[in-house]
Amino acid sequence: MNQSSIVPETDERAALREAVTGLVGRYGHDYFVARARAHEEPTALWKELGANGFLGVHLPERYGGGGGTLGDFSVVVEAASAAGCPLLMTVISPAICGTILARHASDEMNRRWLTGIADGSTKMAFAITEPDAGSNSHEITTTAHRDDSTQHADRGWRLSGTKYWTSGVDEADAILVVARSGTAATGGKRRPLSLFVVPTDAPGLSYQPIDAALVQPEQQFTVWFDDVLLGPEALIGDDGNGLRQVFSGLNPERITAASISNGISLYALEKAATYANQRAVWKGVPIGAHQGVAHPLAEAYIGVAQARLMAARAAELFDAGADAAEASNIAKFAAADASLRALDQAMQTHGGNGLSLEYGLADLWFLARMLKTAPVSREMVLNFVAQHSLGLPSSY
């Protein structure tokens, strides 16, 4: 199956896809599953992706990145996923955190953190969700107060609160935390949001894994910040400007999450087409000759082609500096649904073997299913489209 035929790609993009496919293909899905089952980081793969410039392909050259676009990075994420290694951490560290830092952090902070994110030597987790604030991030209560233990003008912060479902904390060097800042708000309004980079070894920070069904190297955690003392340098950009800043990471999050889903689809359909060409249970005729097998696979392929085009369009808009919110939301929605259909049909094509772990499909089920709920749920995308695309009233 030709991965790039539907989405028009420059020679450079096609070469990038080929290089990532070759590199990740040497590790393959068995490597991914072995790391996942052992709850181990895919360190060798991550390091090699970083050393070859793939993790920072979209980040500024000034900080060791490739100076390319999010469209380039989406190709990296999709190709890795299509080669059997859907790495959730690519969405979190280089896509969300990398983009936010590149756009809003100081030169000093970017030298400290972004260079490592670009070459893969540093990982950053992202914590916005809280036990009582998932879809509705206006309810966030994690708060950073100015540190009153010193009157120095350059005071730091004390961070307290709980984050939930934070991915990859155990393998990350730091967490980009969305918190309310201690600056008093007027008129009964909530305190504004600010963004902080919190090293994972900071005293007062603790975390516990959530027992999740997903087979993937990254685990999810509940994270507690118990009066964590942070220096003034922990604040990204301006105090109270966190809402605007975090938004710059949300479209890259949706676009690269779509790329993971699309990669899973390509991986599953490739396996299904191979199997359907080889498996014969009636008079030596391959099962793929039966339209009951071929048509659902063809229909799944059409859904995936549409989702991939939408993701490419969303990345194109983002890279052009245009409003990419509608396209990014639609891309994420379409890709998650299409990958569940493609994976389900690939499993169905394999008959009983679809459920056998040996065939490398069933273990992807919960990861593909998760992308219907996170990083933004299907319903919140529908709310966005209803309100912003159709002009319908909000119910909340």
Q: Does 126 bind ligand FAD (CB under 6 A)?
A: yes
- Shortest distance, position 369 Cβ to ligand FAD, whole Å: 9
Indicate the residue among 30 and 379 with the shorter CB distance to ligand FAD: 379
Applying CB under 6 A, which part among 51-59, 68-76, 121-129, 227-235 lies near ligand FAD? 121-129
- Shortest distance, position 254 Cβ to ligand FAD, whole Å: 11
Residues between 321 and 350 with contacts to ligand FAD, criterion CB under 6 A: none
| Radius of gyration of the chain from its Cα atoms, rounded to whole angstroms | 22
Q: Report the alpha-carbon distance of residue 240 to residue 192 in Å, rounded.
A: 5
Interaxial angle between packed helices 70-82 and 291-319, expressed in degrees from 0 to 180 and rounded to the nearest 10? 150
Q: Does 282 bind ligand FAD (CB under 6 A)?
A: no
Applying CB under 6 A, which part among 6-14, 59-67, 160-168, 269-277 lies near ligand FAD? 160-168
Q: Report the alpha-carbon distance of residue 375 to residue 313 in Å, rounded.
A: 20
Indicate the residue among 127 and 287 with the shorter CB distance to ligand FAD: 127
- Shortest distance, position 132 Cβ to ligand FAD, whole Å: 8
- Shortest distance, position 124 Cβ to ligand FAD, whole Å: 11
Number of Cα atoms under 13 Å in the Cβ half of residue 308:
25
- Shortest distance, position 323 Cβ to ligand FAD, whole Å: 22
Q: Does 139 bind ligand FAD (CB under 6 A)?
A: no
Amino acid in the structure at residue 259:
S
Number of residues that bind ligand FAD (CB under 6 A): 23
Looking at residue 352, the DSSP 8-state letter turns out to be G
- Shortest distance, position 122 Cβ to ligand FAD, whole Å: 16
Residues between 80 and 109 with contacts to ligand FAD, criterion CB under 6 A: 92
Indicate the residue among 166 and 339 with the shorter CB distance to ligand FAD: 166
3-state secondary structure 309-350: HHHHHHHHHHHCCCCCHHHHHHHHHHHHHHHHHHHHHHHHHC
- Shortest distance, position 115 Cβ to ligand FAD, whole Å: 22
- Shortest distance, position 209 Cβ to ligand FAD, whole Å: 12
Which residues does 194 contact at the CB level (< 8 Å), separation at least 6? 144, 179, 180, 181, 235, 236, 238, 239, 240, 241, 242
Q: Work out the angle at residue 340's Cα, subtended by the Cα atoms of residues 338 and 342, and round it to the nearest 5 degrees.
A: 65
Indicate the residue among 109 and 380 with the shorter CB distance to ligand FAD: 380
Q: Report the alpha-carbon distance of residue 240 to residue 128 in Å, rounded.
A: 15
x/- map, 359-388, ligand FAD, by CB under 6 A: -----------x--xxxxx-xx--x-----
Would you call 192 exposed, middle or buried from its count of C-beta atoms within 10 A (0-12, 13-18, 19+)? middle
Q: Does 214 bind ligand FAD (CB under 6 A)?
A: yes
Residues between 31 and 70 with contacts to ligand FAD, criterion CB under 6 A: none
Phi, psi of 240 (to 5 degrees): 85, 0
Applying CB under 6 A, which part among 17-25, 46-54, 127-135, 385-393 lies near ligand FAD? 127-135
Q: Does 110 bind ligand FAD (CB under 6 A)?
A: no
Dihedral (CA of 285, 286, 292, 298) sign: negative
Which residue's Cβ lies closest to ligand FAD? 134
81, 122, 167, 194: which one contacts ligand FAD (CB under 6 A)?
167
Q: Rounded to a whole number, what is the distance in angstroms from the first to the last CA of the chain?
A: 44
- Shortest distance, position 171 Cβ to ligand FAD, whole Å: 12
Instruction: Examine residue 42 and say whether the peptide bond preceding it is cis (omega within 30 degrees of 0).
Output: no
Indicate the residue among 94 and 296 with the shorter CB distance to ligand FAD: 94
Looking at residue 305, the DSSP 8-state letter turns out to be H
Per-residue exposure over 156-175, b if at least 16 CB sit within 10 Å of its own CB, e if not: bbbbbbbbbbbbbbebbbbb
x/- map, 218-237, ligand FAD, by CB under 6 A: --x-----------------
- Shortest distance, position 136 Cβ to ligand FAD, whole Å: 6
Q: Which two tokens stand for residue 173?
A: 């060097």
* Interacting residues with ligand FAD (CB under 6 A): 92, 126-129, 134-135, 165-167, 212, 214, 220, 370, 373-377, 379-380, 383, 396
